[in-house]
Amino acid sequence: MPQNGFGLANLPYGVFSTPDRSPRVGVRYGDGVLDLAEAFGETYFATATLNELMAQGRQVWDRERARITRLLSERAPSLVPIEDVTMHLPIKVADYVDFYASEHHASNVGRIFRPDAEPLLPNWRHLPVGYHGRSSTIVVSGTDIVRPSGQTKGPQDDAPTYGPCRRLDVEVEVGYIVGVGAPMGGRVSGAEFADHVFGCVLLNDWSARDIQAWEYVPLGPHLGKSFATSISPWVVPLAALEPARTGPPARTVPLLPYLQEGEDWALRLELELELNGETVSRPPYDTMYFTGAQMLAHLTVNGAALSTGDLYGSGTVSGPEPDQRGSFLELSWGGTEPLTLADGSQRTFLQDGDTATIRGTFTGAGGELCSFGEVTGRILPAAG
């Protein structure tokens, strides 16, 4: 049994290619990839995205997971060595929404920007706050991120200026991928979560904090977010995450009935943020205020449609301790408390040449350690 987090309890899906194989669907097992098109022959395995497989629905997802598990358990099929594959964006992204579901993160941000006011705005504990992002700039792990440019205005400046972002940040997140859509005019309840969501990825919603600060009032994030969002190449099936389910946090206000379903889909995940190979934070996902099921219910409660390939993010994951903060905005407390690295250098926000990496694990069936892999990106200087 593999001991690297990619054993039988996990079996995440991805899209890979080699010099002699066009992009197709595979499953990670140990240090190799099982070519599903070669092993089983279904057309939805011989495509360059997971969308066709995801659209088949939960009955097919469960059947194929059982068939893959049986094949790997009963004999040793030929695997493609992981070092020989190129990983691709696993899905064709239909739409993208990012939430703001960590009470610790939202409270930290409130204290940084509104130190003399209540950290959380009145609506926060009643609904999963979110914004509508840009699907065309979602990229797979390993893609370099060009520092964005835009308008910024400091509190002492008389007028805005244009130039490269100076407060480039990461956001440690978990992303949920919709497999089965729903028509416009209906709604998906939290109880139907597992019939619609195929699986989860790690997500980094790169953020230009200075651009964001100037633009976000009154309509919220736009160019400070839309330049890039990275996701991990391996999609962990929701079925693999069943053993990681845990109870939701205590609530200080009652939720409306449509948000009470899906409370049992809180997840115990261990996340880790690295900067240039050094771990700087370990945010715990089980502290999140809203679950992925509640986010889905809120996303569709107004009758918005769902599509195969929709992606929604949890928002930055942060815990109650200083070393559990999932962004440099929090780790450096708005830039006022620089983070000192092992080599003696300091960071408030990301510098050109920095590489940020997010990793995640959970305990799967039989107590097996399971891995999401990683999502990583290196910062390049601003264009032009």
| Catalytically annotated residues | 105
Q: Taking Cα atoms as reference points, which of 94, 92, 88 lies closest to residue 23?
A: 88
Q: What are the residues facing 176 on neighbouring strands?
A: 200, 312
Q: How far apart are the first and last CA of the chain?
A: 50
Work out whether the CA dihedral 286, 289, 293, 296 comes out positive or negative: negative
Work out whether the CA dihedral 202, 300, 127, 193 comes out positive or negative: negative
CA pair distance 325, 320, nearest whole angstrom: 8
Residues 6+ apart with CB under 8 A from 276: 341, 354, 355
Cis ω before 218 (30° cut-off from 0): yes
Q: Taking Cα atoms as reference points, which of 368, 378, 313 lies closest to residue 6?
A: 368
- Please state, as a whole number, how many other Cβ atoms lie within 10 Å of the Cβ of residue 278: 12
- Residue spans of alpha helices (H) in 145-204: 193-196
- Phi/psi region, residue 335 (left: phi>0; alpha: psi -120 to 50; beta: rest), is left
DSSP secondary structure code for residue 9 in this structure: T
CA pair distance 342, 144, nearest whole angstrom: 24
